[in-house]
Structure 1
Amino acid sequence: MTTDFIVRPARAADARVLAELRWKFKQEDHEGQPPRSARPLEEAEHWIHDRLIGGHWLAWVAETGGDVCGHVFLCRVERMPDPYSDNTPIGYVTNFYITPSQRNKGAGSALLEALKQHCRSTGFDTLIVWPSERSSPLWRRSGFQLPDELLELPLDT
């Protein structure tokens, strides 16, 4: 396993490369190039930039040779105050991606470890993720498990 990468918090200045990787990530799920009517890359760049500045979203990147080769995003979900327990936040983990050439070399595990370490040290209660079939084994190896009490209502049906 190669470990010639570093993991660091993403900065707003990373927005362009994070948007580019997001488009590559989504293209792996679909055949061919996006249609001409697809959303422009700049829209994703601005969205990512604004969220990283606002602090409600956080992200970590893996770099090798000075280039970003992976990322994972975290959205802080606040909970209502409760007189009987802490209202510690929940974290929604999403947009986890490693470039194909860097997969299975430890960058993904290192990104998830950095995310978990941050969440533990800043008082998050729970992390949730909707994994792809391909990424599910990594999430499980990293300690994620099926919930006992989560319900879902898809609104697009």
Structure 2
Amino acid sequence: MEVRLAESKDIEQLIKMRWDNTIEFDENKKDESYDEFAEECRRFLEDAIRNNQWFIWVADDQGTLASHIYIELVHKVPRPGRITRPFAYMTNVYTIPEYRNAGVGSRVLKNVNTWVKDKKYEFIIVWPSDEAVNYYKKNDYVHCTEPLEYFPS
């Protein structure tokens, strides 16, 4: 199993994984149009990969994507007296069912953690579901207080 950054050749599998992830946790979405979703998602992924806008880490088992983690860098406004480094926003963490509970997702997460450390990014932030909190904790993540949110009406 190879852990690597996603490439254009992975787009169709990434689209299917995003769809499956959504349907698994929200069955009400299964009546949505896959074709419309796939078209929008394909555009997003093509742009994300081409422009290094997102860093999509995958576990590749001989051509089958078993797991993925999406990272977007958030650049901060420079501040006098210190080097300003971006932080990483992590989302869309998913392992397909047949690879779960075998350490595949943790292997991808450890790779992401090493990459963030090597690049000297400030930190990683993730908003896990209640079910995923232990996954992150066993991989050295700590629970923090909730941020403030604003929802425009």
Same fold per superposition (TM over 0.5) = yes
Greater mean alpha carbon deviation, residues 13-22 or residues 99-108: 13-22
For residues 62 and 22 of structure 1, what CA distance do their matches in structure 2 show? Answer: 15
Equivalent residues of 2:54, 2:71 under 8 A apart: yes
Q: CA deviation at 1:84?
A: 2.1
For residues 36 and 101 of structure 1, what CA distance do their matches in structure 2 show? Answer: 25
For residues 56 and 37 of structure 1, what CA distance do their matches in structure 2 show? Answer: 26
SS in 1 for 2:82: coil
2:70 aligns with 73
Is 2:104 the partner of 1:107? yes
SS in 2 for 1:34: helix
For residues 123 and 99 of structure 2, what CA distance do their matches in structure 1 show? Answer: 28
Equivalent residues of 1:72, 1:97 under 8 A apart: yes
Q: With structure 1 as the length reference, what TM-score do the two structures score? A: 0.88
Q: With structure 2 as the length reference, what TM-score do the two structures score? A: 0.90
For residues 52 and 63 of structure 1, what CA distance do their matches in structure 2 show? Answer: 17
> What residue identity is the alignment partner of 1:124?
Y
Q: Which has the higher helix share?
A: 2
For residues 55 and 103 of structure 2, what CA distance do their matches in structure 1 show? Answer: 21
Equivalent residues of 1:7, 1:114 under 8 A apart: yes
1:43 aligns with 40
> What residue identity is the alignment partner of 1:23?
W
For CA contacts below 8 A with separation 6 or more, give which structure has more relative contact order.
1
Say what the alpha-carbon RMSD is for the aligned residues: 1.9
